[in-house]
Structure 1
């Protein structure tokens, strides 16, 4: 009487090459993620050749620099203090449901003043369109 051994074929996958590929992918994504700048404020900019127009009326934020270098802020031609700007924008968005804001900055405004306004919009998840004039 012969004793039969269980000699079935077992499928195997060579995993050594897969681990190398996974290591290289991990390394690639780690390097790429350090190059990306997460502190970017995303803006929708109009075309440079002509000024873009919108089909409907959006909320407007304007900054006016006075002769004595003080700044006045306006929401739809209504004066607002900078400290109240975030609350007023939140009220406008909640009332109208439109989260698109047209911002008008003078050409000589300091970059930090512009970023302060844009950070308010970033916290409120607003879409900004910077208004420009024709050249």
Structure 2
């Protein structure tokens, strides 16, 4: 007695479900990538200078790559910078800091000088060469 199967097993593979999954993943990644915002600092850069600043007295401050400071021609460490700048600011009302940094100077060292000047209401000019 020979029994035959009524249903045949197909050896072909349907790719339609696989392409659906690929398109769904593509749509998902396209939507999520547009929602990601990069962390950036918003800078307000002036378009043109309209006012000239008259400088009666300025202090040369240089920040080196080895975290040393040169204030008015004198070398000093980070602990003495604030006292030196504060004593100079007290002597004159129109003092301006002319800040020059080395290429490899630490951002924290530069920020220290900027913070001291800002807390005392002193203008800072960046000397870029």
TM-score relative to the length of structure 1? 0.50
Structure whose alpha-carbon radius of gyration is higher: 2
| Unmatched 5+ stretches in structure 1 | 1-36, 48-53
Q: Is the partner of 2:125 in helix, strand or coil?
A: strand
Cα distance, 1:59 vs structure 2:
0.9
| Higher RCO (CA-CA < 8 Å; seq separation 6+) | 1
Cα distance, 1:57 vs structure 2:
4.6
TM-score relative to the length of structure 2? 0.52
Q: CA RMSD in A?
A: 2.8
Cα distance, 1:129 vs structure 2:
0.3
Q: Which runs of 4+ in 1 moved over 3 A?
A: 54-57
The correspondence for 1:108, drawn from 104, 107, 126, is 104
Aligned in 2, Cα 1:72/1:110: closer, same or farther, shift over 3 Å? closer
Task: Kindly indicate whether the alpha-carbon contact (under 8 Å) linking 1:99 and 1:125 is maintained by their aligned counterparts in 2.
Answer: no
Task: Kindly indicate whether the alpha-carbon contact (under 8 Å) linking 1:100 and 1:127 is maintained by their aligned counterparts in 2.
Answer: yes
**Equivalent pairs, count:** 80
| Unmatched 5+ stretches in structure 2 | 1-40
